[in-house]
Structures are given as C-alpha cells and as structure tokens.
Amino acid sequence: MNHQPNTADIQFILHNVLQVQPQLQALSPYGEADADLMQQVLEEAARFVADKVAPIRRDGDEIGAHFANGTVTMPPGSKEAYADFWQNGWASLSCAPEDGGQGLPEVLNQVLYEMLSAANHGWTMAPGLLHGAYECIKHHANPELKAAYLPKVASGEWLATMCLTEAHAGSDLGLVRTKATPVLNPTADEAAMGAAYRLEGTKIFISGGEHDLTDNIVHLVLARLPDAPPGPKGLSLFLAPKFLPDGSRNAVVCERIEEKMGIHASPTCVMRFDGATGWLVGQHGKGLGAMFVMMNAARLHVGLQGVGLLEAAWQMANAYAHERRQMRAPAAADGSRPADSVGQASDLIIHHPAMRRILDTQRAWIDAGRVLAYQTALELDLARHHTDPVRRERAQRWCSLVTPVLKSAFTDQAFHGGSDCLQVFGGHGYVREWGIEQVLRDARIAMIYEGTNEIQAIDLLVRKVMGDKGQALTTLLAELQTDLTATDAGAAQQAEFARMATALNEATAQLLARAATAPDHVYWVAGDYLRALTLVLLAWSWARIDKASAGADARWVAPSQALRAWVLPEFDMRLRLLTTVV
Ligand SMILES: Cc1cc2nc3c(=O)[nH]c(=O)nc-3n(C[C@H](O)[C@H](O)[C@H](O)COP(=O)(O)OP(=O)(O)OC[C@H]3O[C@@H](n4cnc5c(N)ncnc54)[C@H](O)[C@@H]3O)c2cc1C
C-alpha cells in the first residue's frame, strides 16, 4: 500500500486548531501566504509525494543503494524522483527569494518533509540535509563561497552532507580528529574562495556521502587545525565539494557503505578525506556553533520523521483492521453488534477493543505531534521575523524547550507505536508483504541520529531546565495555560493542564533541590522528565484540538478519549520515577 498524505487532517491542524495563516501573513516576508496559496502548495506537495516518492519506497528498501569501486548507484526511480523534486522547486520552498528560493514559510517546508518521510523515509534522507546546509552556508560562509555554492544548495541542484561523526567520536564530537592544515601556496582557484585547507581524516555514517543523484556533493566537515585546543572549542567547519570549481575531482573518497537495519535507499558512507581541499566556513574554533545554526530545524525535521512514520504505520494498520475478520468482538453495553457484522461469522479486527485501543492511542499521538511540530515551525518563523522582541524571545523559548521533546518523544513513539500498529496485522505484519515491517526498521534510526534521544533528554533537563533553575519552563507552562484561557478551551481540559503543569513545576523544584546533594540524579531520570513534559504538551495540544473540533466529529473524539484513558495516566508514573533513589 503506497502512502497517501491526508491533507484534510493536516489543514485542520494548521488552520482550525493553530490558526497559523493570519500569524504568518502578519510577518513581512509572508504577506502573500494566504490560505489559498497554502492549500495549493500542500495539495501539490501531497500529489508529488503520492505519485513520485511513495511508489519507489519498496524498491528503495529491497534493492537499496549499491556500492562498487568508490561509486554509489541509487535504487531504481530515486534519480528521476529527485530531479523532479528539485526542478519543481520543492527543495527551495522556504529558501529566501534572494537566494533563488520561493520564500514560503518554514511550516510549509516542515509539512512537506513530514509527508515525504511518511511516504519514503530512505529516499527523503537525500534532500533532508539540504535546508540545514543552506542555512549554514548562508549565515557563516564568506561571500565568495556563498556565490559559488549557496544558489546550487538552495535549489537542490547539488546535495549536501553533514560530516561530523568519526569512529571514536559519536555523541562526543569534541573527540573529532580530522585534521585541517592551511594551504600555504594555494592555486588561484583555491585562493579565490577564501582561506583554503587540506583535510585529512575518516568520517563514518555519513548520509548521502556518495551517490548519483546530483552532479556535485557539498560536504560540510568538522575538523581541527594543527594548533587547535582539544575538545569542542578546537573544531572548525569546512566546505569540501566532491568536484572542485575547475571540474577536477577533490580528494574525497567513499570507502564503503554500511549494511544496515533500514533506510536502505540512503547510502550511509565511510568517507575518507585524503588531503581534500576545503574552505573555512565561519571562524576558527566555531565549527560546532556554525553547525548548530541548522540544529533546531534539523531536530524538528527528525521529530516530524517520527510523526510521519507513525502516520504511515497507522494508515496501514487502520486499513487492515477494516478488512480482516477474526473472532467475535464483545457486544456493546446495550447488546448491539456492529452493522457490518450482520451475516458474518466473525467481526472486523477494528471492533476488538484491544485493537481499537492501539489505533486510537497512536492517532492521539500523531495528531498532537502535528500540533506541536507545526507550532514549533511557526515559532521558528516568528523567532526570525516578528517585529516585537518580546514575541521573538517567547518563540525562542518555545523552540528551545519543545524541540528536544519533539525529536525524542515522537521518534520513540514512531518505533514503539509503529510496533503496536504492526501488532494489528498479527503474523501478516511480520512478513514483508504488507510493508509495515519496513516502517519499523526505517524508524529505528531516528531515535539515534541528530543527537540520540538520551542526549536530547539531558539537553532538555540539565541544560535548558536546570540551567536557569526552571524559569523558562515555568514561563512556558504559564504561557500555555494563558493560551488555553484565551482560546476558550474546555474547562475540564484547562483543569487537567493546570494540574499537570503545577505537578511538573513542583517536580522541577524537587530535582533542583536534590541536585545539591546528588548531582548525578538528574542524569538517571532525564528521560522520565522529557516524557513527563511530553505528556503535559499532549494535554495542551488536545485541549486545542478538542476546542477546534467542538467534540462533535467521531474522527477527533475517539483519539481524544484514548489520550485521557490510555496515554495521560503515564504522567503520574513518570513523576514517581523522578523521585526514584538509585
Ligand atoms: C544510518 C545513520 C545515518 C547517520 N547519518 C549521519 C550523518 O549524516 N552525519 C554524521 O555526522 N553522523 C551521522 N550518523 C551518526 C549518528 O549521528 C551517531 O550514530 C550518533 O550521534 C551517536 O553516536 P554513536 O553511534 O557513536 O553512539 P555513542 O555516542 O557511542 O553512544 C552510544 C550510546 O551511549 C549513549 N550515550 C553517549 N553519551 C551519553 C551521555 N552523555 N549520557 C547518556 N547517554 C550517552 C547514547 O545515547 C547511545 O545510546 C548516522 C548514523 C547512522 C546509523
């Protein structure tokens, strides 16, 4: 079953729940982004995804990327789909018009990538790093490098990589050893681009390090100058293209690609830099800072991979549950049986409470995930373009606290909730025919890359919450409470949110007190804290959805009930875990 994006649901969240359009149109770059334009873009995007990207998912998995003699051949259909993608302007959707982009809001770009990931996670890895590379070059490269590389990266004509990881340096990038030596006698071409360096070292796990999708590949490489201090402060960022400006091949070699659990359409490359020419991007020793320009958007992007993959799993499982009959489901309280049971020896899987519970619960996660992710994308736009500094600060607070939640909680849910969706198929889910086992294999990596989920939890609790003694978090929760009052959310939903927010603030105060005598405690429970905040944010999201859907449409009522019955009770358990003594 090929994935079909559900644009009606997406539009409902964007417009009815979050009212993004007037907020976007009030920002100077998006004056023309009216509701019609947004709808047109989303419908076109959905068509592209369904027609061009979804159909090549299976070949991407089964045939995969193929390595031979230093080159990588992408699976059938990938190249054509990618040419369609960038030539039709999808790569440059939210890039600035002065860079050749279409200047549309970030939120539309994020929705596009949610649809793409749902339809074909492996293929989407190729363009997935483009926007981050664009931001990085735009904000940190010198004018000459920008002139040579920014337009091609903005348009997507050339793809880009992020070369950080080394065999001994994964989460701890401070251990990176790749060396950058200044070129003492640069050629005229080399000198024309600014300070040139020779890069030496081996990077592993580089997504899209080599492929045949584009004529050139722009590598962004973290490396260390000979006299740089050890640790993260000694890292600088370099741009090293596969082909140099004179058309010759740079000394960047793909040694091999990894055999791996999923995303087989994405080559995960070992890349050797054998004295490759690279140019400094930004300042010496500020390499990680330059990379972090792309981090918030990239982490949101991975969070949306989670939402998209769970949507894909849910669509498959929901369709199957409406076709397959097994055993009798219990009758309703009034003794009635479903109309579609009449004359049948057994009931549809969807009528078994255990299966309904799975599907409604995952629906509750997906819908709330969209609310949180689209709001985060909107906040990124507000942080960049709002004229009021107070509103910009609020937007930054939201992005800083909610982004690790999205990245971590929704990639966890894609895998674990996706596994529940596979359960709906019984043994048919475990075999390849139905396609859902691929979702699980593909989804697993999102919990690991772009900062593992454990690192996200530590970033949230230790750095962002404890770092200012809980002030930003308390402010965010108060803003969300005010928002529910302002949007006239239901009284029960407001009370539910207030209870959870108060309890989380109290738990934060207890953790701060405990840190004085047991500084390692927070590291044991950071994952529980992130999960507790996730559940508070789910309560807020569903208060907004309940209001917008007015409790009338069964489409929204069932997951709303599932949230209260099966998801939110976990909150109190997580709070108890926060006080566990190890
Ligand atoms: C398919 C794939 C694609 C990738 N794409 C790219 C890419 O394009 N570019 C790139 O540079 N890298 C890429 N990576 C690398 C990826 O970002 C790393 O694998 C990831 O950062 C984790 O590093 P590691 O694998 O060395 O694990 P380690 O850092 O060794 O961690 C092992 C375990 O220990 C935990 N851990 C480590 N430190 C802490 C801590 N302080 N507190 C708590 N727990 C901790 C981790 O959470 C993890 O569970 C990719 C990896 C894969 C598999």
What is the pLDDT, as a whole number, of residue 293?
66
Check the CA dihedral 104-364-301-382 and report its sign. Answer: positive
Distance 524 CA to ligand 1 centre (A): 19
Tokens of 358: 């799975």
Tokens of 389: 């500094």
| Residue 551, pLDDT above cutoff 80 | no
Question: Residue 321: which of 107, 516, 558 has the closest Cα?
Answer: 558
| Residue 381, pLDDT above cutoff 70 | yes
Neighbours of 283 (CB within 10 A): 12
Phi then psi for 192, rounded to 5 degrees?
-65, -20
Reported as a pLDDT band with limits 50, 70 and 90, residue 361 is very high
Is the minimum distance from the CB of 169 to ligand 1 under 6 angstroms?
no
- pLDDT tens column, 75-84: 999 999 999 9
Is the minimum distance from the CB of 164 to ligand 1 under 6 angstroms?
yes
Mean pLDDT of 527-550: 97
Element (H, E) at 278: strand 268-281
**Is residue 20 within 8 Å of residue 39, measured between CB atoms?**
no
Question: Residue 441: which of 344, 313, 333, 337 has the closest Cα?
Answer: 313
DSSP one-letter code for 265: T
Please list the active-site residues.
450
What is the pLDDT, as a whole number, of residue 553?
83
Mean pLDDT of 135-143: 95
What is the pLDDT, as a whole number, of residue 295?
73
Reported as a pLDDT band with limits 50, 70 and 90, residue 580 is confident
Neighbours of 239 (CB within 10 A): 26
pTM: 0.97
Please count the CA atoms within 13 angstroms of the CA of 98 that sit on its side-chain side: 4
Report d(CA 473, CA 404) in Å as an integer.
13
Residue 60 Cα to chain centre, angstroms = 20
Question: For the residues of 124-149, what is the DSSP string, one character each?
Answer: HHHHHTHHHHHHHHHHHS-HHHHHHH
Check the CA dihedral 50-56-60-62 and report its sign. Answer: positive
| Residue 333, pLDDT above cutoff 90 | no
Q: Whose CA is nearest to atom 40 of ligand 1?
A: 455
Atom of ligand 1 nearest to the CA of 129: 8
Atom of ligand 1 nearest to the CA of 165: 11
Output 268 or 579, whichever has higher pLDDT. 268
- pLDDT tens column, 236-256: 999 999 999 999 999 999 999
- pLDDT tens column, 296-324: 778 999 999 999 999 999 999 999 999 99
Is the minimum distance from the CB of 107 to ligand 1 under 6 angstroms?
no
Report d(CA 62, CA 442) in Å as an integer.
12
Neighbours of 548 (CB within 10 A): 18
Mapped onto helix, strand or coil, the DSSP state of residue 546 is helix
| Residue 48, pLDDT above cutoff 70 | yes
